[in-house]
């Protein structure tokens, strides 16, 4: 730093360290940050700025949270800047260049591209230049028609010949490959639940999956570059990359990380049915009955199919143990009716044994706390009671033996 301090003409030099997250060894990234901080701390008057560019990986954020480093640094999130405006300008300029220089420029109408198409690319980019860059690269292919390529990008049209976001998919696969195998199943389960239900609130998700407060942030620590849920101020999980769900739902793109919604609907329903209320970490989780609401949602989903695993889970589900919570809220009381009606339409090839089990469990727990119930809750539970009576009259007892 000596030569810089001895300069007569004071200029500020910026040292740019790009893609810090690409360091194979995490210790290398940590060393770069700490050495830079030591230099700034030791030579306060040095005309130098260190600029780090990186995805928000957990180990890198941890380094910048160290007090000695935090006091000397400032973190700028692209989401909190004018990144969208910059990307809009980038897309507009490059589409104009394609319109001017492409081999098929004579076949491009004067109104191409439409303003809404540009906005759609900007929206898909979510403030991330690499997404916009992949899109422009795909549209500018000399061997394809720019109009068709742009339609594939903005409309999500199927492309049999080439994936417009192949480079981005490689990044996603690399990120998921860094998740420990023992954690990967849990990560995919939670992501599937979010995609199926559109539930993004952190507290209900933690309660449903029996995670301690802050457990969701730990679960998704390896996905910090594409999913945000770490800050204590975050009430909802957010996909930083809006294209990530498209990737996960496409078997050709996601491969071993693919989420089949039909399979996961049934799988998650089995998981939730087997969970016991006493296993919940949060004392408020049971009160809110988020797990029971999840069961209700998944049962109503057309994607949920009868299976051997689901039958076993239903046979273990004891609705009588849930009644003390169900009975005090009309919305939760409706779950009883939903379960009975939905199962009435499912065939487990067991001559009704599963159905009879649920019916008997309902009847067993029906009278619990009846005298203390509100009138609207009693009204809802009476519907289920009438349904139970009709079921028992309709199907002979021997069918369940």
Query: From CA 247, how far away is CA 172, in angstroms rounded?
Result: 8
Residue 126, pLDDT > 70, answer yes
User: Residue 52: beta bridge partners?
Assistant: 17
Query: From CA 206, how far away is CA 202, in angstroms rounded?
Result: 6
Give residue 281's pLDDT.
46
Q: What is the pTM of this model?
A: 0.74
β-strands 238-239, 227-228 pairing = antiparallel
DSSP 25: S
Give residue 231's pLDDT.
61
Q: What's the rounded mean pLDDT across residues 50-62?
A: 82
Our measurement of the distance from residue 163's CA atom to the centroid of its chain's CA atoms, rounded to an integer in Å, reads 22
Give residue 398's pLDDT.
45
Instruction: Say how many residues make up the chain.
Output: 401
Query: From CA 15, how far away is CA 10, in angstroms rounded?
Result: 16
Query: From CA 41, how far away is CA 45, in angstroms rounded?
Result: 9
Quote the tokens at residue 314: 């239903």
Q: What percent of the chain has pLDDT over 70?
A: 75
Query: From CA 23, how far away is CA 21, in angstroms rounded?
Result: 5
Beta carbons of 46 and 39 less than 8 angstroms apart: yes
Using CB atoms within 10 Å of the CB of residue 67, give its burial: 0 to 12 exposed, 13 to 18 middle, 19+ buried.
exposed
In the chain, where are the structural domains located? 2-75, 83-164, 174-259, 302-400
Give residue 136's pLDDT.
94
DSSP 50: E
């Amino acid at each position: 730093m000596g030569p810089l301090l001895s300069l007569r003409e004071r200029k500020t030099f910026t040292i740019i360290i790009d893609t810090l997250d690409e360091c194979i060894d995490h210790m290398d990234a940590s060393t770069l940050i700490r050495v830079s901080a030591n230099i700034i701390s030791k030579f306060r008057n040095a005309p130098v700025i260190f600029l780090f560019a990186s995805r928000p990986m957990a180990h890198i954020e941890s380094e910048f949270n160290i007090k000695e480093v935090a006091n000397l640094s400032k973190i700028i999130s692209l989401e909190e800047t004018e990144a969208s405006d910059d990307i809009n300008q980038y897309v507009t300029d490059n589409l104009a260049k394609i319109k001017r220089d492409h081999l098929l420029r004579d076949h491009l109408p004067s109104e191409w591209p439409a303003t809404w198409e540009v906005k759609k690319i900007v929206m898909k980019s979510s403030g991330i230049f690499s997404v916009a860059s992949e899109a422009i690269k795909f549209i500018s292919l000399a061997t394809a028609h720019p109009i068709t390529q742009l339609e594939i990008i903005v409309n999500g049209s199927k492309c049999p010949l080439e994936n417009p976001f192949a480079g981005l998919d490689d990044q996603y696969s690399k990120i998921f490959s860094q998740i420990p195998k023992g954690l990967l199943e849990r990560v995919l389960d939670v992501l599937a639940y979010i995609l199926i239900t559109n539930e993004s609130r952190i507290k209900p998700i933690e309660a449903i999956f029996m995670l301690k407060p802050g457990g969701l942030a730990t679960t998704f620590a390896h996905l910090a570059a594409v999913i945000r849920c770490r800050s204590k101020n975050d009430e909802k999980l957010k996909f930083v990359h809006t294209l990530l769900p498209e990737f996960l739902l496409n078997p050709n793109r996601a491969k071993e990380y693919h989420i089949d919604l039909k399979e996961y609907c049934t799988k998650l329903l089995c998981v939730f049915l087997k969970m016991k209320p006493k296993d919940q970490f949060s004392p408020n989780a049971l009160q809110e009955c988020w797990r029971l609401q999840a069961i209700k949602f998944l049962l109503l989903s057309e994607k949920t199919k009868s299976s051997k695993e689901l039958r076993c889970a239903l046979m273990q589900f004891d609705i009588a143990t849930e009644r003390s919570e169900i009975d005090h809220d009309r919305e939760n009381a409706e779950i009883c009716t939903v379960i009975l009606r939905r199962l009435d339409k499912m065939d487990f090839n067991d001559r009704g044994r599963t159905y009879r089990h649920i019916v008997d469990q309902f009847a067993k727990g029906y009278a619990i706390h009846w005298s203390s119930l509100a009138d609207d809750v009693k009204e809802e539970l009476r519907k289920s009671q009438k349904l139970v009576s009709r079921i028992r009259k309709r199907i002979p007892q021997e069918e369940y033996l």
